[in-house]
Chains A and B, each alone.
Chain A
Amino acid sequence: AQSVTQLGSHVSVSEGALVLLRCNYSSSVPPYLFWYVQYPNQGLQLLLKYTSAATLVKGINGFEAEFKKSETSFHLTKPSAHMSDAAEYFCAVSSSMRTGNQFYFGTGTSLTVIP
């Protein structure tokens, strides 16, 4: 079975500081991993995805994530936070079930950026 765990339901950083949002996965098969962002009153937007082509994945808005198999992690980072980065972030793992093709989401991390 696949699952993801996001450590820290709330993260606050100062504008210009490093953003680090943590995600650990559990999967019995090679996982496909994703980060989504949700701005207030909006749907989920894909930030980036891991497809096994490269362990360091670059996404939109300056975000990137590194797949570390030894640590079963897929943490999301951004070198310098902007005020506009304030949002809810969800890590997800894709299940290659026979028919379900289901996504499993983490509980989300709310990012606050302090001016």
Chain B
Amino acid sequence: EPEVTQTPSHQVTQMGQEVILRCVPISNHLYFYWYRQILGQKVEFLVSFYNNEISEKSEIFDDQFSVERPDGSNFTLKIRSTKLEDSAMYFCASRGGGTYNSPLHFGNGTRLTVT
């Protein structure tokens, strides 16, 4: 069964550094998402992406965050200048088009640790 893949599985970075988290969504999916989960807390929506543009973003997704689909397969999340509070598990997800009852398919996440 096709799956969403995320790399790296764990990323350690220093405060103020830029990080890029990478995702390969399921190939025929049209909607792409980033969520994050701070340790012990709920899954929080960051951004959704459709037709090569952001369709919705949360308050968390400020100017320090950006997303890109540079080619037909990758979907990236960039944090320009990381802060300690950006430490979290970041999940990429994708979804097929056509109906609103199609579920999200999640990757296994990238654990970002900002020191």
Query: What is the interface of chain B mostly: helix, strand, loop, or mixed?
Result: strand
- Let me know if A42 and B56 touch, CB within 8 A: no
Q: Does B25 contact A (CB under 8 A)?
A: no
How many positions in chain B have a CB within 8 Å of any CB in the partner chain? 23
- Please indicate the chain B residues that have their CB under 8 angstroms from the CB of A103 in the complex: 33, 45, 93, 104
Chain B nearest CB, measured from A44 CB (Å): 4
Q: Does A1 contact B (CB under 8 A)?
A: no
Q: Does B105 contact A (CB under 8 A)?
A: yes
Q: How far is the CA of A96 from the CA of B61 in the complex (A)?
A: 21
- Let me know if A49 and B101 touch, CB within 8 A: yes
- Let me know if B56 and A43 touch, CB within 8 A: no
Q: Does A46 contact B (CB under 8 A)?
A: yes
Q: Does A102 contact B (CB under 8 A)?
A: yes
- Please indicate the chain A residues that have their CB under 8 angstroms from the CB of B43 in the complex: 44, 90, 105, 108
- Let me know if B48 and A94 touch, CB within 8 A: no
Q: Which chain A residues have a beta carbon within 8 Å of chain B's beta carbons?
A: 32, 34, 36, 42-46, 49-52, 90, 92, 94-97, 99-108
User: Could you give 5 example pairs across A and B, Cβ below 8 Å?
Assistant: A43-B106, A43-B109, A46-B104, A99-B50, A101-B50
